[in-house]
Amino acid sequence: MSKKLFVEIVSPDREVWAGEGDMVIAKTVEGEMGVQPGHVPVLSLLAEDAVVRVLGARETGEIRAAAHGGFISVSGEGRISILAETAELAEDIDVDRAREALKGAGESGDSQAAARARSRLRAIGEEVA
C-alpha cells in the first residue's frame, strides 16, 4: 500500500491536473465519497455539479476543481482518474463570469448550465443553493 495517491483530472480536450495527494473527495450521484491509499477499486458517476478536492496536493495542501458529468475511477494501485465532461481548477475560474452564468441559467431555465455554474462557484469556496 503506497502512502500517496496518483490523481489525474481530465476533460475531453485536456489534462486539467495530475499529481500526488493524500486523499480525494468527490461528489458522486450516490453522495460524497472519500478515497485514501488502500481503497478498494471502484467506478462511480460524478454528480452534475461535482467539486473534486485533492488533499495533500501541492504546497497549498489542496487542489479544488469543478467537474461536470463523467466519472471517477479508483484502481487498486492507488491511481484515481477523474474523467469529466468539463473540468476547471478553482484557481482558473473567473468568479464574475461564473456568477453571471448562474444568473443567466436561472433566467433561461437551463438546469445543466446552472449545475456547471454552481460547481464552479463551490470549487472557489462560495456557498450556492
Distance CA 27, CA 8 (A): 16
CA dihedral 16, 9, 123, 41 (to 10 degrees): 180
- pLDDT grade for 76, boundaries at 50, 70 and 90: confident
What distances in angstroms separate CA 89 from CA 19, 40, 41, 69, one per listed residue? 13, 26, 25, 15
Query: What does 91-102 look like in DSSP terms, one character per residue?
Result: GG--HHHHHHHH
For residue 13, which amino acid is it? Answer: D
Q: What is the pLDDT of residues 31-64, one digit of tens each?
A: 999 999 999 999 999 998 899 999 998 777 899 9
Q: What is the pTM of this model?
A: 0.88
